[in-house]
């Protein structure tokens, strides 16, 4: 098996790393503290100019056709510097991929160039509701056909980038009499459509610069042509696209974990206790060895999932394994890195407390770690049924 990256993949990884180091890292702490949307959106615009909002989108629609492996590499490098920027980049790519996968040719020609060019600052993925998080089939938002229009009513929670996204991918029940999960459809809804209300950004523990909002639809009328993938066939689409999103979030978690461990490793070589460098203590050396080994394993799982997806093969189990392992091990890495720095790790002067806050949600969104275990175990049992 050849694990070497292609020339294009290396180029994209290097470009993402350099951008993260020069543009994102210097302002990450300020964004965490102030949530300055001007700086945040300026950096997103620069990433868009470099092609990072359409990494797996065909060139004819304005993308760069770099593939899923390149996408994973890029998200990891961006997350090393700013998790808020990384999650917005990941979700926007996911929205673009949904449109490319199931949208009509008109949808693709109309909306993908706007996402890839930055005319739309981001895309939003509207699936979660108050009673439909880990169980999205239980959603209550409805879309009722009225002549040549659908009328949307309902509320979506925890929507990344909702306050400045140009386009929403929205799931709603179109057949209330169908069995649970069978009557759901997927729609493209422009952000300026009357009947949409976006709440103020939630006050979050981490990833603070990336706004997370509630989106309400009240008698929101959209054209019949906004339907994607066929009526009552949206749930399977959601499940499939979430699998791709898990590669992005796993890659994000890996980036935060690596940033935390790299910072702590440097600190250990500089800090002295008992007249010797902290790096000379075996207990700390073993923590380094364990955490870096686990993060490398996470990287390989992510590459396997990304490569499998890129080949057009079923990748749901692989994506869940990668996301589960990367998120859990990155959480441990951040907390161990903070512990290795002692009291300094707990002080805002250093980035460890931010890394620890930013990484925590990676084991929750795009499917909790517990849900990933359900998905993995079901896939394993199906293989022998």
Q: Residue 185: phi, psi to the nearest 5?
A: -125, 165
Q: Measured between alpha carbons, how far is 362 from 247 in angstroms, rounded to an integer?
A: 11
CA distance 10 to 13: 5
- Residue 154, SS3? strand
Alpha helices in the chain (DSSP H): 7-19, 25-34, 37-49, 68-81, 83-102, 105-117, 234-270, 282-310, 316-340, 352-360, 369-382
Q: Which of 77, 105, 366, 383 is catalytic?
A: 366
**Distance (Å, rounded) from C-alpha 163 to C-alpha 212?**
8
Nearest-CA neighbor of 206 among 118, 307, 82, 42?
A: 82
CB of 17 closer than 8 Å to CB of 77: yes
Look up 366 and say whether it is catalytic: yes
Query: Would you give the DSSP letter of residue 129?
Result: B
Among residues 94, 156, 87, the alpha carbon closest in space to that of 361 is found at 87
The region that residue 222 occupies, defined by phi over 0 for left and psi between -120 and 50 for alpha, beta otherwise, is beta
Q: Would you say the C-alpha torsion 135, 205, 339, 333 has a positive or negative sign?
A: positive
- Extended beta strands in the chain, E state: 123-126, 142-146, 149-160, 167-173, 184-190, 196-198, 212-223, 227-228, 272-273, 276-277
Q: Return the active site residues.
A: 366
């Amino acid at each position: 098996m050849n694990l070497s990256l292609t020339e294009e993949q290396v180029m994209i990884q290097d470009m993402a790393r350099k951008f993260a180091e020069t543009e994102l890292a210097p302002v990450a702490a300020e964004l965490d503290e102030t949530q300055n949307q001007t700086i945040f959106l300026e950096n997103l615009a620069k990433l868009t100019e470099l092609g990072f909002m359409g990494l797996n989108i065909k060139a004819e629609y304005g993308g760069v056709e770099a593939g899923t492996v390149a996408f994973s590499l890029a998200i990891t490098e961006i997350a090393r510097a700013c998790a808020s920027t990384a999650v917005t980049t990941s979700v926007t790519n996911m929205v673009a991929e949904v449109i490319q996968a199931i949208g009509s040719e008109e949808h693709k020609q109309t909306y993908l160039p706007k996402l890839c060019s930055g005319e739309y600052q981001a895309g939003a993925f509207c699936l979660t509701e108050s009673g439909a998080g880990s169980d999205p089939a239980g959603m209550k938002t409805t879309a009722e056909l009225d002549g040549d229009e659908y009328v949307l009513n309902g509320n979506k929670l925890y929507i990344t980038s909702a306050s400045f996204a140009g386009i929403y991918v929205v799931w709603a029940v179109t057949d209330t009499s169908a069995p649970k999960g069978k009557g759901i459809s997927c729609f493209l809804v422009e952000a300026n459509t009357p009947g949409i209300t976006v709440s103020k950004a939630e006050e979050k523990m981490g990833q603070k610069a990336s706004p997370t909002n509630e989106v309400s639809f009240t008698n929101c009328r959209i054209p019949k042509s906004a339907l994607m993938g066929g009526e009552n066939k949206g749930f399977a689409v959601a499940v499939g696209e979430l699998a791709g999103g898990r590669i992005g979030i796993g890659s994000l978690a890996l980036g935060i974990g690596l940033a935390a461990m790299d910072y702590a490793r440097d600190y250990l070589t500089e800090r002295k206790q008992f007249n010797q460098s902290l790096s000379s203590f075996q207990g700390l050396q073993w923590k380094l060895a364990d955490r870096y080994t686990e993060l490398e394993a996470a990287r390989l799982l992510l590459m396997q999932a990304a490569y499998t997806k890129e080949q057009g093969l079923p990748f749901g189990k692989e994506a869940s394994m990668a996301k589960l392992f990367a998120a859990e091990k990155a959480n441990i890495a951040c907390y161990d890195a903070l512990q290795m720095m002692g009291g300094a790790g707990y002080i805002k002067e250093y980035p460890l407390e931010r890394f620890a806050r930013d990484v925590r949600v990676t084991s929750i969104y795009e499917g909790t770690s517990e849900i990933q275990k359900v998905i993995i175990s079901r896939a394993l049992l199906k293989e022998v049924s």
